[in-house]
Every structure is written in structure tokens, then in C-alpha cells.
Chains A and B, each alone.
Chain A
Amino acid sequence: MNYFVTLTLNGLASGAAYAALALSLVIIYQATRLVNFAQPALALLSVYTAYTVTQLTGSYWLGFAAALTAGLLVGAFVERVIIRPIARTSQLNAIIVTLGLLLVVQGGVGMVWGNEQHGFRYAFSYVGRFAPSDVFALVAVGVVALLLFALYRFTPLGLRMRAAAFHPEAARLSGVRVGLMLTAGWGIASLIGALAGMLAGPPFISPNVFDVVFVFGITAAVVGGLDNPFGAVIGGLLIGLGMSYVSGFLGPELATLAALVIVVAVLSVRPDGILSRPTARKV
């Protein structure tokens, strides 16, 4: 029983990082119908920024703040300068460009910081099952999800962002600057992606550190329903739990398989994900 509880908590903790990454994908997909394959690259930049700041100042928390800030700015910059001009030509072009961006940034990070692993300490101990760092991961993602919910539901900015995502023309006719909302959405999404990076990256970071995490993050987003933020969180936790149980009871070499089984099982019952809305819309 005790073992089961440990596995559950552990699964939730690693699921938190997947949930955060999935959330960052869903926010952008919701607004632009675009899967942002560059998300791990943006997280990578943020985490390396944090690494550098932490090296210079000796403070993990300054680094943490730097990561989130970097995520916000880089996300907004990428949308405004790279994605928007291309999205005008075609959606597919924009998606391909995010893939290219991933490769370029990974290469660039390798050139600047080196391709070898860097030790990047946590603010908390991560030794043992359900360590303080796991608690931090769960709490951080929980807080961010709540803040995000409050932002979308209760603030004028959130209302503008939702209107711009669901019905850009109606939003413009209500005086909303839709382009600005897209930039804000990318910024917020990348901030959450940076958080995912800070949770999933340590204790060692390298240019390819998020490849595996991203696979599970995108799996979580698909499982939850690509256009539903709640689905992203649920999907992330589900993937985390599934992999934790399977690796605990059946052996860690099967953990990745668990993610695949979950995807196949969920999508065969609900092809659009657990919480997706019907795609047809009447106007």
C-alpha cells in the first residue's frame, strides 16, 4: 500500500512537468491551430538562461525568475517576428518552421553553452521517492494552472484572449487587437513551457534534455484534447501516473510503453482526446 502511494505521488510529480508542457502546447494550439514543435527549444533557452544567471549570482530563485521571464519574452518574440509573417502564407508552413526552429535553437544552444551535460542543481533535494523537489513540481504546476484559469476566466485580458482565439473577427469587431492577443498567448505559453523545463531539466541539462519530455508532453496534450487546457493537465498527470505504476510494478524498461498504451486506449475511445469540444461550430 505504502509502495502504491509512493508510486502515485511520484507519478503525479513527473506528470506535473508533462502537464505544464502540454498546457503550453494547448494554449498555442487553441489560439492558432498550430502545434508548436519549438516549445522544447524555447524551454531550453529559458533553462540555459536560468543556468547562467544561477552561475553568476549563485541564487537558484533569480535563475528561476530569469527562466520564466526569458520564456515570456522569447515566446512573444518568436510569434511576432517569426511565426506571424509565415502563418499568413499557410498554417503548415508555420508548423514546419517551428520544427526548424527547434533544430536551430538546439544547435545554437550547443554552440553557446556546449553540447556536454551541465550540472544544474535544484533548490530542493531530489533524492528518494517523493522528494521535496517533487512537492515543488506539483505545487508550482498547480499554482500556475490556477493562475491561468483565473487569468482566462476573470480578467479582461483573459476575455480578450479567449474571444480572439475562438472568433477572431468577432473579437476585432469588439475592439480587441487580435494580433497582440496572439503574441500574449505565445508569451504565456512559453512561460509555462519554461516552468516545465525548470521542473524536468535538472539535475543535468544538455541541448537534447527535453526531447523525451517533449514526447510525453505532446502525448499528454493529445490525450487530454489538444484544445482543452484542463485536458492538458489531466493528460499530463495521467501519463505521469501510468508510467510510474508501470515502471514500479512491471519494470522501468516498460514505462515508455505505458505512455503508448494510454494514447492508444484513450484515442480509440475518444478520438479527439478526453476533454475536447466538438469541432463543428455554428456561427
Chain B
Amino acid sequence: MTRPLLTVEDLSASYGAVRALCGVSLTVPERGLCAVLGANGAGKTTLLRTLTGLHRAASGRVLLADEDITPLPTEKVITRGLAHVPEGGGVVVELTVEENLRLGALWRADRRDRTTLDEVMDLFPPLAQRRAKAAATLSGGERQMLAIGRALMARPRVLLLDEPSLGLAPLITRRILDLLRDLRDRTGLTVVLVEQNAAGALSVTDHGYVLNQGSVVAEGPSAELLADDRTRHAYLGF
């Protein structure tokens, strides 16, 4: 295996007295496609929010390549190459589709370069058709595409996705999951996918972690997790 691009070491986080993450460790290799699974309240969203500094870690470290990014504020973490699509996408509905996309690349020195914008538009044809429309007019699936598109505009090294399938039709979910794999294969993007839809997520990823009550309770190659009945029944509910 190649050396890890993203390393999480013994990460803990809490909301007041409530511990949301208790010593989570995981590693994601370069070009890895990694699923983080678990039930509601298992700490998946908190994990991603702590990775990008939206939530402060109580202890532990997050390393991107060899840099400790734990103390950095969110807007700095982003510039190090971590992109985060929050739950529900976090699209700015008052802005147009194109403005949302441009926003994603504003911090880059080459923000005037339109090739990334064109690439993202090619990747998501529905966005290209509506580039001048307000994001509020998009459907749920299109918003998710826009959110991913905005994250890609930053040309990230690691893409963190929080429940991209939430509220979407199975067909669209499938398309988005396949797209992630395709992106990894073509561009070498590293992806961390947080999902409740465990079967779908394990079918496209190559490694999986299962969280329960803030701790990693199972991990392994996605195919093995799929095959392991005990984990499936106990934590994944299928």
C-alpha cells in the first residue's frame, strides 16, 4: 500500500459534556476510496467536521501528508487540499450555480483559469445548463452535484463527502457513487465517504471503517465488511 495521505490519530471531540468521538484513528492512502459507516449519532459527521476544523478536536491529530492540520482554521485547512461537502451540500442557495462554483476556487492563485470550471461543467451537464440560475432552483440531486462541483473547483487532494445520498432517489445516488470512483480512477483524487447507506458505499469504496458511539468498531477492505455478517447485522442494519 502507498503511504497514507490522510492520517487521523486518536482523535477525540465532544459537544459540551457529550463525547462524540473517542480516540478515532484511521488512515487513507493516496488515491484511496474510503467509506466511514455507522448509524445516526455514531460520530461520522463530527469526524468530518473535526477533520476540516469546523469542530475543534479535544485531543488527537489530523495529518495531511506529513503536515499536522489539526490546529488550522477551516479556511486554511481548505487551502491545504482538503475539501468538504457537508451534509445536505451546503450550497449557497442565494448565489447562482456558476457563482457557487467560482466561490470554490476563489482562494486559488489561478482562480481566473477557467479550465477547472469547464471540467466541472462537463462532469455535471445539468449544472452547465443552469449556470446562471440561482442555486435555489436546483433539485436535490443537482444541488448535491453543485456541492461536489464546488469542492472539486478547489482541486483538492482529499474530498470528504457527508451523506451525499441523503434524500436522493436511488438512481441518482448510484450515479453519484459511481462518479466518485470514476473521479478517483481518472484524476487520482482521494475520497472519504461518510454514509448511512452502507451497502451502496461499500460497493464503490475499497476500504471501510465502521463507527459506533464515537469509536471505530470494525474496519477492513470493503468487500470483507460486506461479507462479514456480524458487522453487517450489528452496526450496518442490512
Contact = CB atoms under 8 A, between A and B. Distances in A.
Interface of A: 156, 159-160, 162-163, 166-167, 169-178, 277, 281-283
A172 B107 CA distance: 11
18 contacts: A162-B99, A163-B95, A166-B94, A170-B91, A170-B103, A171-B103, A173-B84, A174-B78, A175-B154, A176-B75, A176-B103, A176-B106, A177-B75, A281-B93, A282-B93, A282-B136, A283-B91, A283-B93
Contacts of B40: none
A170 B151 CA distance: 10
Which of A163, A173, A175 is packed against the most chain B CB atoms within 10 Å? A173
B108 to A, nearest CB: 8
B203 interface: no
Contacts of A173: 52, 54, 74, 78, 83-84, 86, 90, 151
A194 B74 CA distance: 34
Which 8 pairs, one residue from A and one from B, show the smallest C-beta to C-beta distance? A175-B107, A175-B78, A170-B90, A172-B74, A167-B92, A166-B94, A174-B103, A175-B75
A275 B89 CA distance: 28
Contacts of B90: 167, 169-170, 173, 283
Number of chain B interface residues as a range: 20 to 34
Nearest to B91: A170
B150 interface: yes
B111 A156 contact: yes
Please classify the interface of chain A as helix (H, G, I), strand (E, B), loop, or mixed, using the class held by over half of its residues: helix
Interface in B74-124: 74-75, 78-79, 83-84, 86, 88-95, 99, 102-104, 106-107, 111
B79 A175 contact: yes
A259 to B, nearest CB: 30
A160 B75 contact: no
Contacts of B150: 174
Given A160-B106, A173-B84, A174-B150, 15 more contacts: A156-B102, A159-B102, A163-B92, A163-B95, A166-B93, A170-B103, A172-B75, A173-B78, A174-B103, A174-B104, A175-B107, A176-B75, A176-B103, A282-B136, A283-B91
B47 to A, nearest CB: 15
Contact of B88 (A166, A178, A277, A283): A283
A173 B51 CA distance: 12
Contact of A169 (B54, B103, B104, B136): B54
A236 B93 CA distance: 28
A88 to B, nearest CB: 14
Contacts of B84: 173
Contacts of B107: 174-176
Contacts of B103: 159-160, 163, 170-171, 174, 176
A282 B138 CA distance: 11
B151 to A, nearest CB: 8
Contacts of B106: 156, 159-160, 174-176
A84 to B, nearest CB: 15
A175 B73 CA distance: 10
Contact of A170 (B83, B92, B102): B92
A160 B102 CA distance: 10
B85 to A, nearest CB: 8
A169 B75 contact: no
A162 B135 CA distance: 14
A175 B108 CA distance: 9
Contacts of A159: 95, 99, 102-103, 106
Which of A172, A175, A283 is packed against the most chain B CB atoms within 10 Å? A175
A183 to B, nearest CB: 14
A170 B136 CA distance: 15
Contacts of B154: 174-175
A142 B32 CA distance: 55
Nearest to A173: B84
A174 B151 CA distance: 7
Interface in B29-86: 52, 54, 73-75, 78-79, 83-84, 86
Nearest to B136: A282
A171 B75 CA distance: 8
Nearest to B88: A283
A127 B104 CA distance: 53
Nearest to A175: B107
A170 B111 CA distance: 18
A21 to B, nearest CB: 24
Nearest to B78: A175
Contacts of A163: 92, 95, 103
A175 B86 CA distance: 14
Which of B73, B86, B103, B111 is packed against the most chain A CB atoms within 10 Å? B103
Nearest to B160: A173
A214 B82 CA distance: 46
B53 to A, nearest CB: 9
